[in-house]
Amino acid sequence: MREITFQMEIHDPANLEKVRVPALMVGVFEGPRFPKEIGTLVDQYAPVKLDQLMESGEMQGKFKEFVMLHLPPEAPFQRILFMGMGKEEDFTFDILESIVAKATRTLRRGNCSEMAIMTQMFDRLSAEDLGRAVALGATLGLYRIRRYRKESSEEAFRGYFKKIVFLVSPETDREALARGCRIGNVLAQATNRARDIANEPACYMTPRLLAKRAEEVAKECDLFLEVFAEEDMKELGMGGILAVSAGSEEPARLIVLRYEKHPGAPRIGLVGKGVTFDSGGISLKPSIGMHQMKYDMAGAAAVIETVQAAAELDLPVNI
C-alpha cells in the first residue's frame, strides 16, 4: 500500500509533555464543549483563562470557526488551534475530515507542518474511521497545483504535513487507527492525482496523453488495458465519439481499464466522460467559463484513479 504522506505517531494524552510538535488541534462542539485536559493546559500556560475565552464569545464551537492561542516556550505546544465542529448531534465523519482540512491549511499558512490532534471528542467514530478522516482531510486540504509553479523554499515547505500525532486513550485500537490512515491516504492521493489530470490545460491533456496516464496505471498496478484508436472505433460503429472528435485535430481514444484480481467477486462498471475540451454544445459557448471546459474529462480522470486506488487497496471486487 502507498506510503502515508505524513509521519504518524500515537501517544497517550496523559503524557502531553512527551509530545513535541508545534501545534495542537482541539475539536470544540457548540456550547462550547471540549476535553477537560485542555482546560488544565490552557489555564496553566496561556495568558488567558479558558473561561474568559468562552465568556468573550470568541469561541463558540460553530462549524469551521477557529481560535488560535499562542503559548510560551515552556508549554508542550507553541499554539493550540480550537476548531469548531458545530452541534454535537450533527457530528459526522465528513465534519471531522472538513475541520482537519481547515486546520492544516490554517497552520500551514503559519509555516507549521506538524500537529497533534486531541481525539476524545471524536469517540463517535471507530478508530479506523478516525484515521481515515484525518488522512483524507490533511492530504486533500493541502492540495495545490504545483507543476507550473516555481516555488520558493518557503512555498515548498508549505506542502503536505510532515507529522500528525494522534492523542488517543489506551483503549483505542491503534492498529485500526493506523490502517484507517493508510486507507485514507490511498483515497486522498488518488483524488489529488485526478485533480492534477483535470487541472491540466487542454493542450497538455489530450486524449492520447490521457490514455498514456491509463497506461502508467495499468503498468504500475498490473491491470488489463485496451486503448481503441479512431480506426478501431470506426470498425465498431462508435459514431458518437467520432463525431465529437471530428471537431479537433487531436485523434480520439477510448480507454478500457480492468481491475480483475478476485474471481467470483461482485463486478462494478464505471464510465467516465473523457472529452478533454468541450468547446461546443447545443450552441457555441460564450467566453465566460470557457476556461472550465477542460474539466469535461474529470469523469475519466476520476475513473482511472479510482481503479488504481481499488488495486492499491486490493478491494474484493472486479471493475
Residues 253-290 pLDDT 10s? 999 999 999 999 999 999 998 887 777 665 566 677 77
> What pLDDT score does 169 carry?
87
Higher local confidence (pLDDT), 156 or 211: 211
Per-residue pLDDT at 173 exceeds 70: yes
* Cα end-to-end distance, the chain, whole Å: 19
Q: What percent of the chain has pLDDT over 70?
A: 92
Higher local confidence (pLDDT), 34 or 230: 230
Give the residue-averaged pLDDT of 61-80: 88
Least confident of 148-162, 234-248, 297-311: 148-162
Give the residue-averaged pLDDT of 42-70: 83
199-233: pLDDT as tens digits = 888 888 888 999 999 999 999 999 999 999 999 99
Task: Return the residue matching grid coordinates 468547446.
Answer: 279
Per-residue pLDDT at 115 exceeds 70: yes
Per-residue pLDDT at 35 exceeds 80: no
Instruction: Kindly report the average pLDDT of the chain as a whole number.
Output: 86
Strand partners, 23: 79, 115
> What pLDDT score does 157 carry?
46
> CA angle, corner 96, sides to 91 and 99, nearest 5?
115
Q: Which domains, and CATH codes, for the chain?
A: 7-198 (3.40.220.10), 201-313 (3.40.630.10)
Q: How far apart are CA 304 and CA 316, in angstroms?
A: 18
pLDDT band for position 46 (50/70/90)? confident
Q: How far apart are CA 87 and CA 258, in angstroms?
A: 43
The pTM (predicted TM-score) of the whole model is 0.87
Buried/exposed code over 213-237 (b: 16+ C-beta within 10 A; e: otherwise)? bbeebbeebebebebbebeebeeee
3-state secondary structure of 278: coil
Q: How far apart are CA 188 and CA 143, in angstroms?
A: 10
Handedness of CA 314, 317, 318, 319 (dihedral sign): negative
CA 162 to chain centre: 15
Spatial CA neighbour of 167 closest among 3, 1, 18: 18
What does DSSP assign to residue 304?
H
Per-residue pLDDT at 147 exceeds 80: no
Q: What is the DSSP string of 194-215?
A: HHHHHHS-TTTS-HHHHHHHHH
Higher local confidence (pLDDT), 159 or 308: 308
Grid coordinates given for 266? 461482485
Per-residue pLDDT at 60 exceeds 80: yes
Grid coordinates given for 54? 468562552
From the DSSP assignment, how many helices (H) and strands (E) are in the chain?
A: 10, 8
Nearest-10 Cα torsion for 48, 50, 54, 58: 50
Q: How far apart are CA 120 and CA 39, in angstroms?
A: 14
Omega within 30 of 0 (cis) for the link into 73: no
- Which of 72-76, 123-127, 152-156 shows the highest mean pLDDT? 123-127
Q: How far apart are CA 77 and CA 23, in angstroms?
A: 5
User: Is the Cβ–Cβ distance between 259 and 237 less than 8 Å?
Assistant: no
226-254: pLDDT as tens digits = 999 999 999 999 998 888 888 888 888 99
3-state secondary structure of 26: strand
Higher local confidence (pLDDT), 76 or 147: 76
Q: How far apart are CA 276 and CA 299, in angstroms?
A: 10
Per-residue pLDDT at 155 exceeds 60: no
Spatial CA neighbour of 10 closest among 175, 193, 192, 229: 175
Per-residue pLDDT at 54 exceeds 70: yes
Q: How far apart are CA 229 and CA 255, in angstroms?
A: 9
Give the residue-averaged pLDDT of 291-304: 84
